[in-house]
Chains A and B, each alone.
Chain A
Amino acid sequence: MARTLTILQAINEALDQEMARDSSVIVMGEDVVGGSGAEGEMDAWGGPLGVTKGLYGKYGDRMLDTPITESAFIGAAVGAAASGLRPVAELMFSDFVGVCFDQIYNQAAKFRYMFGGRAETPVVVRTMYGAGLRAAAQHSQSPYSIFTHVPGLKCVMPVTPYDAKGLLIQAIRDNDPVIFFEHKGLYETEGEVPEQSYSIPFGEANVVREGNDVSIISLGLMVHRSLEAAETLAGEGIQCEVVDLRTTSPLDEDTVLESAENTGRVVVVDEAPPRCSIATDISALIAQHAFDALEAPISLVTAPHTPVPFAGVLEDQYMPDAARIATAVRSVAGYA
């Protein structure tokens, strides 16, 4: 039975169902409960945006507020994962990875390989990313390419409530470290979500709109903006195929290449800066493996190579929008 939920509610439901199903699932992070040790109410916040609200009442000690010490608690989640638990750690903003990257990059990501296949680290790091909330340079980045670069990590970025629930359940049950990116501009996005538990396999991109003229390969919030552009372009007679990568590691190379071969014209849309990014990675993939099918140069629509600015007029320019995406598509579609 499906109901309409927001992404925020879908994530909460996934955590709730997995915690109910498996007592080894614990949640930790800054204010995931909120109120620990204070004299007021517990579960005062339930996460900075209320994503984990209500879980403390059901799961008590398996919901752990942490000091603001990301190295210690992300590392503790990694150590607990290697010791039999399935921790879901919340790194409040993905920008904060700067203070705890070692525990993700040198520890969690490497245990399986470095220990000869004799270690499992089933940890999930849930983390907010993305611009658009005037949160400025240290709370607005989209650093998924940094994590995608690291062998051993899996990187997931849902854009619908259905995907958020199914991919998070998969992340929790997965026996590798998973970085689960939640765009702060998408929490209120609504969609149908089944009540029952289900999981979505990693490495399966989603063709969210079919079309034969131009492929728009995208991820995160940019999928919604790409769909918006595609709608406008359809009115102009340009039919876009929009691909939501859903996971950048593992990457569904087949779906990306099939789409590129189908249309021969490709625009890649990425909210992050352009160097060494998902956009350049997808572009290289297509150039290497679908070169003969291309009828136009691949076009990248990305943020500029700058930090995220604060002022609205600047931040709005920073993020690719439907108009910029449409302009790129028209150019690619018209290339002869």
Chain B
Amino acid sequence: MALTKDELLKAYRLMRTIREFEERVHVEFAAGEIEGFVHLYAGEEACAVGVMLNLTKADRIASTHRGHGHCIAKGVDVPAMMAEIYGRATGSCRGKGGSMHIADLDAGMMGANGIVGGGPPLICGAALAAKVQGTRQVGVAFIGDGASNQGTTFESMNLATVWNLPAIFVAENNGYAEATAADYAIGAGSLADRAEGFGMPAATVDGHDFFAVHEAAGEAIRRARSGDGPSFIECQVNRYYGHYEGDAQTYRPPGEAEAARANHDCLDMFAGRVTKSAGIEREELDDIDRAVAALIDGAVSSAKADPAPAASEFLTDVYVDY
């Protein structure tokens, strides 16, 4: 299905927002402004946005520890996300979650997740709820190459097939599970072959190519919506930064991330294609770049200025108030 110009500009804006967000968090973290564990999504933007442009707000996703991109693409408020990463009362989770637990159920975002493989069972549940309630919504579980080996992922793919759930499993294979190569840790020829073993169609796409992801995800999501069950997509991609901020990445060959950035960057690929063939001018993209930079600047300034959670918040929300 051909994308309209507005949709293409939206895709670019989302990818640029993720990139700008992550680049800025990288800088602020290095400057000591951000505490805790932070995992950046830079380089993988086309995966999140390619999938999410096929979803509605009511559709649900479960994310990973590397979740900022999924949140932004799913429509979580960007300043609230930044505030959460700074541990502020104004954050998505009122400062109680942090980078690894940003969630917004109203936006269909069931949470980044600190547990590798934590999300797929949850998405089976979201997809089951959609099926039981007859909403035609779908659930998308994002996993990495690390989680692709977890039992929860296998069990969930099996359950999704057994229950014929409107669930899509999107594996973002960035080549490394923390510091261990995917080639070492995945005991199968390909993730797609493995998924087919669970009885679902599977595709392998270039995760830097927004259009490839969008098309594969579109097909899987249409299939799920029409009641034809789960699908699997492997997006092969690069991460520009380490497993976590502060990771020296000595396990990677020198220049690997730089080469990906120079030769296979999702934003460059996207811009090149749409300015050649979709009637979009470079200036239109530059305008978006400027607007996004201002958005992220504003998000960082307000996050820095926002209040920490009140001491009274410490013990609240463990249980429901009767």
Interchain CB contact under 8 A, A71 and B121: yes
Interchain CB contact under 8 A, B318 and A76: no
Decide yes or no whether B259 CB sits under 8 A from chain A: no
The CA-CA distance from A64 to B127 in the complex, in Å, is 14
Give chain A's interface residues, CB within 8 Å of chain B. Answer: 24, 26, 61-62, 64, 66-67, 69, 71-85, 87, 102-103, 106-107, 111-120, 151-152, 154, 174-176, 250
Interchain CB contact under 8 A, B158 and A72: yes
Q: CB-nearest residue of chain A relative to B150?
A: A71
**Contacts A79-B123, A116-B91, A119-B105 given: A72-B156 contact, CB under 8 Å?**
yes
The CA-CA distance from A174 to B126 in the complex, in Å, is 19
The CA-CA distance from A152 to B96 in the complex, in Å, is 14
The CA-CA distance from A27 to B111 in the complex, in Å, is 25
Interchain CB contact under 8 A, B124 and A75: yes
Pair count A-B, CB < 8 A:
157
The CA-CA distance from A235 to B169 in the complex, in Å, is 66
Listed A/B pairs (18) with beta-carbon separation below 8 Å: A66-B159, A67-B158, A69-B155, A72-B159, A75-B124, A75-B156, A79-B110, A79-B126, A79-B139, A84-B133, A102-B115, A112-B320, A113-B318, A114-B103, A115-B101, A116-B93, A118-B104, A152-B319
The CA-CA distance from A277 to B80 in the complex, in Å, is 41
**Contacts A72-B158, A116-B91 given: A79-B122 contact, CB under 8 Å?**
yes
**Contacts A71-B151, A115-B101 given: A106-B121 contact, CB under 8 Å?**
no
Hey, which chain B residues are within 8 Å of A115, CB to CB? 92-93, 96-97, 101, 103, 105, 111
Q: Which of A72, A73, A82, A102 has the most CB of B within 10 A?
A: A72
A309 CB to nearest B CB, Å: 30
Interchain CB contact under 8 A, B316 and A117: yes
Hey, which chain B residues are within 8 Å of A64, CB to CB? 128, 163
A120 CB to nearest B CB, Å: 7
Hey, which chain A residues are within 8 Å of B139, CB to CB? 79, 83
Interchain CB contact under 8 A, A118 and B152: no
Interface positions, chain B 143-161, Cβ under 8 Å from A, are 151-152, 155-156, 158-159
Contact with A along B89-130 (1 / 0, CB 8 A): 001111111000101111000110111001011111110111
Q: CB-nearest residue of chain B relative to A61?
A: B132
Hey, which chain A residues are within 8 Å of B130, CB to CB? 83
Hey, which chain B residues are within 8 Å of A80, CB to CB? 125-126, 128-129, 132
Contacting B122 at CB < 8 Å: which of A69, A107, A175? A107
Contacting A113 at CB < 8 Å: which of B92, B96, B124, B162? B96
Q: Apart from A62-B132, A79-B122, A115-B105, list 18 A-B contacts with CB within 8 A.
A: A61-B132, A64-B128, A71-B121, A72-B155, A73-B121, A75-B125, A76-B122, A76-B156, A79-B62, A79-B110, A79-B123, A79-B129, A81-B125, A83-B60, A83-B125, A85-B129, A112-B319, A250-B319
B186 CB to nearest A CB, Å: 20
Hey, which chain A residues are within 8 Å of B286, CB to CB? none
Hey, which chain B residues are within 8 Å of A76, CB to CB? 121-122, 124-125, 128, 156, 159
The CA-CA distance from A83 to B95 in the complex, in Å, is 23
Hey, which chain A residues are within 8 Å of B114, CB to CB? 106
Interchain CB contact under 8 A, A79 and B121: yes
A198 CB to nearest B CB, Å: 17
Hey, which chain A residues are within 8 Å of B319, CB to CB? 112, 152, 154, 176, 250
